[in-house]
Every structure is written in C-alpha cells, then in structure tokens.
C-alpha cells in the first residue's frame, strides 16, 4: 500500500511538472532538472565558487567549521557507519562462503573415508575367505596324511604283533601252538 501511494505521489508530481513545462513552452526534462533560464542558480563546489586568494583559503580552511568544507559531521558519521555495515556484511558473506566451502570439504572427506572403509572391509573379507579356504585345504591335506600314517601304523602294528603275518609261522616258545598247527587241528 505504501508503494502504491508513493507511486501515485510521483505520478502527480510528474504530471504537475509536465503541466508547468507545457505552460512555459519548455520540455518536461528541463523543468524537472531545474535547467530553466529563470530557475534559481545553486552554487556548486569547485569551479562555480568565487575565487579566493591562497592566504584566505588557508585561513578559511583552518577556521571554517567542518560542515562548510563539504561534508557535515553527521553525514561523515552516517557514511562511516554505512561503510562499516558494508564491511561487516561483506565479512559475513565471506565467512558464509568459507563455511560452505569447509562443509563441502568435510562432506568430501567423509565420502572418501566411507569409500576407504568399504575398500578395507572388502580386503579384510577377501583375506579371511582366502585364509578359510587355505585352512580347509590344509585340514583336508592333514586328514589325508593322517589317515595314511594311521593305516601304515596299523599295518606295522599288526605285522609286528604276535598275531601278525611274519611271526605266525614261528612259535615263540615250546609250549605255544603255531598258526599252522592250529589250522590243521581245526580243519581235522
């Protein structure tokens, strides 16, 4: 609503200037910017100011109040405050940008760390699977070798015992019966 009222006010002023310019017979821009010949002339700084001698300038510049030199104290304070605000806003924007960059770097580091952890886990799993298969192969080989050793030991035990093949023909003492005599007795 305030914007609408301001716009209507500006339109009314522009219409009044155009009407005034039309009555004088000049363009509206000339009326708007005060460049009409009968307009009050404003003194500008620099070339339009009356010239002073060097001594008068030095005395005037030193003794003149600050607002005569071009900028009032309150304007200077406002400008300083505005500059400080712009600096702080710029600093805040830079800090926000830096913060965003740090966050992105952290996110990338986290993503890379996750990839590294996944690769290490995969390597450990593969190592354990290979170790398991190696242990199974060794256990299978050991069980086969152990089976062969047991068979050889049994053969040696049976062959070296009193019931073995090599000692069956001989009698260990005079009172014992040999295998041949026992077989003949049983067959008869």
Judge residue 161's burial from the number of C-beta atoms within 10 Å of its C-beta, 0-12 exposed, 13-18 middle, 19 or more buried. Answer: exposed
Neighbours of 168 (CB within 10 A): 14
More confident residue, 112 or 31: 112
Q: What percent of the chain has pLDDT over 70?
A: 65
Give the per-residue pLDDT at 101: 93
Burial of 31: CB neighbours in 10 Å, binned 0-12, 13-18, 19+: buried
Model confidence pTM above 0.75: no
pLDDT tens-place string over residues 106-157: 999 999 999 999 999 999 999 999 999 999 999 999 999 999 999 999 888 8
Q: Which residue has the higher pLDDT, 33 or 181?
A: 181
Least confident segment among 3-17, 18-32, 43-57: 43-57
Domain map (residue ranges) of the chain: 1-42
Encoded tokens for 33: 């910017």
Highest-confidence segment of 48-52, 66-70, 74-78: 74-78
DSSP 27: -
Local structure of residue 178 (DSSP, 8 states): -
- Report the mean per-residue pLDDT for the chain: 76
């Amino acid at each position: 609503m305030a914007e609408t009222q301001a716009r209507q006010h500006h339109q009314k002023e522009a219409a009044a200037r155009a009407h005034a310019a039309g009555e004088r017979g000049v363009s509206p821009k000339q009326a708007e910017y005060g460049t009409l010949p009968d307009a009050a002339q404003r003194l500008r700084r620099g070339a339009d100011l009356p010239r002073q001698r060097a001594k008068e300038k030095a005395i005037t510049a030193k003794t003149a109040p600050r607002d005569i030199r071009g900028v009032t104290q309150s304007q200077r304070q406002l400008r300083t405050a505005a500059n400080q605000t712009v600096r702080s806003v710029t600093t805040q924007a830079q800090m926000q940008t830096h913060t965003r960059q740090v966050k992105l770097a952290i996110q990338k580091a986290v993503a890379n760390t996750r990839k590294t952890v996944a690769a290490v886990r995969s390597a450990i799993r593969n190592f354990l699977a290979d170790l398991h298969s190696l242990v199974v192969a060794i256990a299978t080989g050991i069980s086969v070798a152990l089976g062969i050793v047991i068979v050889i030991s049994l053969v040696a035990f049976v062959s070296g015992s009193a019931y073995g093949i090599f000692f069956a023909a001989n009698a260990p003492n005079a009172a014992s019966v040999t295998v041949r005599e026992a077989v003949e007795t049983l067959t008869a």
